[in-house]
A and B are shown apart, each in its own frame.
Chain A
Amino acid sequence: MVEDRPLTSILTHFVLILGVIAIALPIWITFVAATHDELRMNQVPLPLWPGTHLLDNLTQTLFGAGLSGSQGAPVWLMLLNSLAMAMMISFGKIAISLLSAFAIVYFRFPFRMTCFWMIFITLMLPVEVRILPTFEVVANLGMLNSYWGLSIPLIASATATFMFRQVFLTVPDEMLESARIDGAGPMRFFFDILLPLSRTNIAALFVILFIFGWTQSFWPLLITTDTSMTTIVMSIKQMLEAAEQSPQWNIIMTTALLARIPPIFVVISMQKLFVQGLTETDK
């Protein structure tokens, strides 16, 4: 900072703390809601300070019936489904993008540019605008209510491919030359040299993709009808609908708490990678 006057300093921190409060308030209020019992959560005004029922709520949500009166899957199963979906999307996308970026950067082959353009075009089509026909394709392939149907349509996207392409282009040419003189073939070079050299980029991308996969709700809502395939995020939506009849906000907000702990944990604990991943790609 150029000047360090106490007054500007105080003002700066004041504004920032105000910002933090504004941003964190929704998270705080819903956390508080997860620490009270149902009775308290139906009295106006709602509490702003944590209560003592967090453990009860957690037990009921995770292992009990969850929201009473609903026929949903147990919450631990939903967490598992979300984890499976997020992992499949992350690993799948990283794997196919690494391979195709490798081919595009390190090989000269007929139709290389055709491949490039076909991948490129996916940049322009968010899943939301082609949702109906994509749904039909998934249905025709018999992939409704399956992990494959949950993850694979969200796997294809050019962004990761472009990021890896960019990373590979910054790898000095001498790495490949040196490896060729050492006698390494293409796949050996890929696994021994290229992958280790890109590992922080891979990790950064993994963080972003994990969050992308975990926070999906629209797509799972469309293609899963079987309650055993429910993901935690989409269950929130279903609970909100149920809440219009019998509000059990303590349980809903405990579920919401569980639903956001994994991605928030990932973002905070891997902040550096997260920021790197976000600025290098997006989604």
Chain B
Amino acid sequence: MAEIKLTDLTKSYGSTEVLHHVEGDINDGEFIVIVGPSGCGKSTLLRMVAGLETVTSGEIRIGDRRVNELEPSARDIAMVFQNYALYPHMSVRENMAYGLKIRKLSKAEINKRVEEAAEILEIGQYLDRKPRQLSGGQRQRVAMGRAIVRDPQVFLFDEPLSNLDAKLRVQMRLEIRKLQQRLGVTSIYVTHDQVEAMTLGDRLMVLNGGYVEQFGTPIELYDRPASVFVAGFLGSPAMNFIPAIVEADGVGFARRHKTGRRTGASG
């Protein structure tokens, strides 16, 4: 288990900066959700933590190690991909065992871990099937299983539920949360779905256009949004915004006519 420290993290492609000075401390065992509209840089941030994208400047620390230059496999992380990225030619068992085999664990140890994970996820009877013989929900579990067996310091989830139907999504959301609490592994979860974010995370990092808009618990974000964006993005059903003017005697709802003349009632 480990804490994660993001310090002044920036990412550029050529001259285009897509992430701007991201800061964030993630505590040991915490479940963090990074949320934001598509293109806000949330997946990029996650992939930087995974080591699949290089860091332009700033620092990522996992535990007490600086991991900027480490290969993904050396960072002691596991990742669940949006499309699961199961190896189609390997059985469920082989899929889960692959990373362990590379790390040269003993056969007995590999078997033990796979069986354990399969039991937790209730996929024991599918171990010898190929991914294409599984339903979407089952594949999702296998992808989770592949992450669990590695016994990593950090779980990374890249929109893992977005390929499931609505009902299954709710169910899996609950399971992921329970599983994470049970294993106590520090987790970062990326999604664009506000409901998912609000119900899953210990804390939420709201990203917009490569900037961190706010980083805090769901209640904080809901009660005291730091910006109009956060308020608008998280509110469900959608919030109504009415322009207003702060005046000496309080807040006035304001409507401007074409003439610019202000009408309104002071509150």
> Residues of A with Cβ closer than 8 Å to B?
172, 174-175, 177-184, 188, 192-193, 196-197, 199
Contacts and interface: CB of A to CB of B under 8 A. Distances in A.
Interface in B73-112: 73-74, 77-79, 81-85, 87-90, 98-99, 102-103
B88 A182 contact: no
How many of chain B's residues touch chain A, expressed as a range? Answer: 20 to 34
A181 B83 contact: no
A177 B79 contact: yes
Nearest to A193: B87
Given A183-B73, A193-B87, A197-B88, A178 B102 contact: no
Secondary structure of the A side of the interface? helix
A178 B81 contact: yes
B78 A181 contact: yes
Nearest to B147: A181
B24 interface: no
Interface string B48-90: 0011100000000000000000011110011101111101111
Contacts of A177: 47, 50, 52, 72, 79, 81, 85
Interface in B182-209: none
Contacts of B84: 174
Given A188-B102, A192-B98, A181 B79 contact: yes
Secondary structure of the B side of the interface? loop
A182 B98 contact: yes
B99 A174 contact: no
Contacts of B50: 177, 181
A181 B99 contact: yes
A181 B98 contact: no
Contacts of B85: 172, 174-175, 177-178
Given A184-B102, A197-B89, 11 more contacts: A172-B83, A172-B85, A174-B84, A177-B47, A177-B52, A177-B79, A177-B85, A181-B78, A182-B102, A183-B74, A184-B73
Contacts of A180: 51-52, 71-73
Which among A178, A180, A188 has the highest number of chain B CB atoms within 10 Å? A178
A183 B99 contact: yes
A181 B77 contact: yes
Contact of A175 (B47, B71, B87): B87
Contacts of B89: 196-197, 199
Contacts of A196: 87, 89-90
Nearest to B88: A197
Interface string B158-182: 0000000000000000000000000
A187 to B, nearest CB: 12
A173 to B, nearest CB: 9
B73 A182 contact: yes
Interface string B16-52: 0000000000000000000000000000000100111
27 contacts: A172-B85, A175-B85, A175-B87, A177-B47, A177-B50, A177-B52, A177-B81, A177-B85, A178-B79, A179-B87, A179-B98, A180-B52, A181-B51, A181-B52, A181-B77, A182-B98, A182-B99, A182-B102, A183-B73, A183-B102, A183-B103, A192-B98, A193-B87, A196-B89, A197-B88, A197-B89, A199-B89
A168 B89 CA distance: 15
Given A188-B102, A193-B87, A197-B88, A174 B73 contact: no
B162 to A, nearest CB: 14
Contacts of B87: 175, 178-179, 193, 196
Nearest to A177: B52
B23 to A, nearest CB: 25
A197 B83 CA distance: 17
A199 B89 CA distance: 10
Nearest first, the 10 A-B pairs at minimum CB distance are: A183-B73, A174-B85, A182-B99, A178-B85, A196-B89, A183-B102, A181-B72, A180-B72, A174-B81, A177-B52
A177 B86 CA distance: 11
A192 B50 CA distance: 22
Which among A172, A183, A196 has the highest number of chain B CB atoms within 10 Å? A183
Nearest to A192: B98
A188 B50 CA distance: 20
A177 to B, nearest CB: 5
B102 A174 contact: no
B184 to A, nearest CB: 21
A95 B2 CA distance: 44
A181 B73 contact: yes
B221 to A, nearest CB: 30
A183 B103 CA distance: 7
A184 B98 CA distance: 9
A48 to B, nearest CB: 51
Contacts of B72: 177, 180-181
Nearest to B47: A177
A180 B103 CA distance: 12
